[in-house]
Structure 1
């Protein structure tokens, strides 16, 4: 896999995107963790949901590709039954075989992560299958078909008109429920539930702040900070008529793919 630059900032995430873990509690409820289980939090980020998960079960292993986010999670009064590790999702199988002494997990939980594994989503699915016990649960929520569609389209268009392939710049894998279900079945899972859930989402700050936090793969294709700021402002201005409420609050239409599957 292509080595990934760590573009994440725990402080920036908290400023512009604290709504992400708050809204992740819905899929955590669907996991229904039991008090005797060992659960993997795949893409734990700053650990907000990991700590909540740890309060409901025996122990939790949190992994994330971002060293900055793992460092923040470790500093933030982590419960004793949580361990954090910097692991790219594509390398989970290798890491698990070398380091996880407790054996396969009862469940894998993932919130707002799997859409970042665009390069090889099948490898991610196979790795999750690899680390689960037979009949182990895989419960996830991430960006699905049409997720943040207006912002993505505007970013793609902004790059295209500057002579850059905007679609190639996108870091996101936003599958339909049908497509992702097919991938799960083809790779050893029985799908119990897979549905797209539209969710109007209030932003912490504005569209520019959202792009700064999540759209860095687009901005990196631009020549300098001035051009990056110009594109972020251009996208915000384009979306303002429909995505800024009367009181000044900004919104994006998220579409989340919620999945519950069991390892065959």
Structure 2
């Protein structure tokens, strides 16, 4: 891995133990879990589908999808995030395959998937456009790309700043729906945007930022 990738992995490894304390990360509150489950059911094809969860973190969305009967493969650059995800699914008695690797180029060999899902990942990537191409390449005919993203305010008072050089990331601080749709359409022309800002249940409270889902079909 590059020095930047090592720094990013180390950052998220350090965050793994407290990551699920955020309402929209751990999905511990029943209303928040139910809200995300409803959205995933609406965005994905009927189960069982083969789903690649890139930047899976601690596996909260993977767990919801496995509970719905989908076949899950999760990828994350941070080994500690992957370990939390494996334990979460194992504790629920649900199968899933979790891999440590770069979400920009998931280490899934020649496997293809019905759905590639990423939530709040693209802003962390040194080359998000290349990642989008890699994800689309892994879609089967008729497959879906589901990206939950946003453009949010960076807190100047953050106790733990993001990795050195983050200001040079193309989409540092998030990406607007207009910009992301423009990047996806040359790869998958059938794109729709679903705004998510106004549903506080998803986030554990009101949010002031632009948040949305992009769903694109092959």
Q: Render the CA deviation track for 1:62-97: whole Å, top value 9, x for unaligned.
A: 1111111101111234244311111211222xx222
For structure 2, list consecutive stretches of 5 or more residues without a partner in the other structure. none
The structure that has the greater radius of gyration is 1
In structure 1, the partner of 2:11 is 7
Distance 2:85 2:166 in 1: 33
Of 56, 65, 68, the residue aligned with 2:80 is 68
Tell me how far 1:190 sits from its aligned partner.
2.2
In structure 2, the partner of 1:105 is 113
Do structure 1's residue 131 and structure 2's residue 128 form an aligned pair? Answer: no
Distance 1:56 1:18 in 2: 21
Where 1:180 maps in the other structure, the secondary structure is: helix
Q: Render the CA deviation track for 1:35-77: whole Å, top value 9, x for unaligned.
A: 2311111121111221110122341101111111101111234
In structure 2, the partner of 1:257 is 212
Do structure 1's residue 114 and structure 2's residue 114 form an aligned pair? Answer: no
Tell me how far 1:165 sits from its aligned partner.
9.3
Tell me how far 1:198 sits from its aligned partner.
2.3
In structure 1, the partner of 2:181 is 181
Query: Of Structure 1 and Structure 2, which has the larger fraction of its residues in helix?
Result: 1
Distance 2:199 2:167 in 1: 24
Tell me how far 1:170 sits from its aligned partner.
9.5
Do structure 1's residue 50 and structure 2's residue 62 form an aligned pair? Answer: yes
Of 81, 90, 94, the residue aligned with 2:95 is 81
Distance 2:166 2:183 in 1: 26
Tell me how far 1:128 sits from its aligned partner.
0.6
Q: Render the CA deviation track for 1:180-229: whole Å, top value 9, x for unaligned.
A: 1111112x21233124432476988xxxxxxxxxxxxxxxxxxxxxxxxx
In structure 2, the partner of 1:191 is 190
Distance 1:82 1:165 in 2: 34
For structure 1, list consecutive stretches of 5 or more residues without a partner in the other structure. 205-249
Distance 1:65 1:166 in 2: 16
Relative contact order, CA 8 A, sep 6+: which one is greater?
Answer: 1
In structure 2, the partner of 1:18 is 23
With the length of structure 2 as denominator, give the TM-score of the two structures.
Answer: 0.75
Query: Matched residue pairs, number?
Result: 198
Tell me how far 1:3 sits from its aligned partner.
2.1
With the length of structure 1 as denominator, give the TM-score of the two structures.
Answer: 0.63
